[in-house]
């Protein structure tokens, strides 16, 4: 299976890394309606920490951010677009989907999504370590260059005595 751009589909909503139902449906090559029906038939498998529905404000913010359809969820627009608020699946919710969708495609997609979540965790951990090391360097150099910083501040301070103007004064 070719590498999917799954990392681009993982969003941070309500402080959780999630994938939207429409994005998952596209990866699984099923309709969003089909995916959501399967989830609703097995609602007990998807507690609030596995899946949640976006609020109208969150959906609007996503539409504004990504520049998608302007039709509001819940409206009966004559043109395309969503007619309900999207669902967001956490990593555990995506893993639970693997039990519902039993195609080879679903299995391969779930493996790739799990790998993407792991890569994101590794990137966050690497950035945290880099931030920690930078902070240590700043502390180390702050002590060593205190004299330099003090001298610069002294040079930047305005002069205490007024200076004579330069040039001819009649």
Q: What's the pLDDT band for 42 if we cut at 50, 70, 90?
A: very high
Paired tokens of 152: 């610069």
Residue 119 lies in a domain: yes
Q: Report if pTM > 0.85.
A: no
> Is 76 a residue whose pLDDT tops 60?
no
DSSP-H helix ranges across 9-167: 21-28, 32-41, 56-66, 91-100, 104-144, 146-156
Answer yes or no: is 135 within a domain. Answer: no
CATH number reported for the structural domain that contains residue 95 in this entry: 3.10.260
Range of the domain at 18: 6-127
* Residue 81, in any domain of the structure: yes
φ and ψ of 102, to 5 deg:
-100, 40
- Average pLDDT in the 89-107 region? 84
Name, in order, each residue with C-beta under 8 angstroms of 59's C-beta and a sequence gap of 6 or more: 73, 82, 85, 86
Q: Is residue 141 part of a domain?
A: no
Confidence of residue 52 (pLDDT cuts 50, 70, 90): very high
- The answer to the question of residue 154 being in a domain is no
What pLDDT score does 61 carry? 85
And the tokens for 96? 């639970």
Q: What is the DSSP letter of 18?
A: E
Average pLDDT over residues 78-107: 80
Q: Which string of b and e fits 37-57 if b means at least 16 CB within 10 Å?
A: eebeeeeeebeeebbbebeee
The answer to whether residue 140 is domain-embedded is no
117-166 pLDDT per residue, tens: 888 888 877 777 776 776 776 677 666 666 666 666 677 666 666 667 77
Domain count for the chain: 1
Residue pointed to by tokens 């993407």: 116
Average pLDDT, the chain: 78
Specify if 56 maps to a domain. yes
């Amino acid at each position: 299976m070719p590498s999917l751009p799954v990392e681009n589909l993982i969003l941070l909503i309500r402080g959780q890394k999630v994938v939207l139902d429409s994005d998952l449906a596209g990866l699984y090559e099923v309709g969003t309606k089909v995916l959501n029906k399967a989830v609703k038939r097995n609602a007990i498998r998807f507690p609030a920490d596995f899946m949640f529905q976006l609020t109208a404000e969150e959906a609007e913010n996503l539409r504004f951010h990504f520049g998608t359809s302007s039709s509001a969820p819940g409206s009966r627009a004559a043109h395309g677009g969503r007619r309900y608020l999207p669902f967001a699946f956490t990593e555990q919710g995506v893993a639970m989907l693997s039990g519902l969708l039993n195609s080879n495609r679903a299995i391969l997609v779930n493996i790739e999504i799990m790998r993407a979540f792991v890569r994101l965790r590794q990137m966050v951990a690497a950035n945290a370590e880099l931030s920690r090391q930078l902070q240590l360097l700043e502390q180390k150099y702050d002590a060593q260059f205190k004299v330099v910083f003090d001298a610069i501040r002294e040079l930047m301070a305005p002069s205490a005595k007024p200076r004579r103007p330069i040039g001819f004064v009649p």
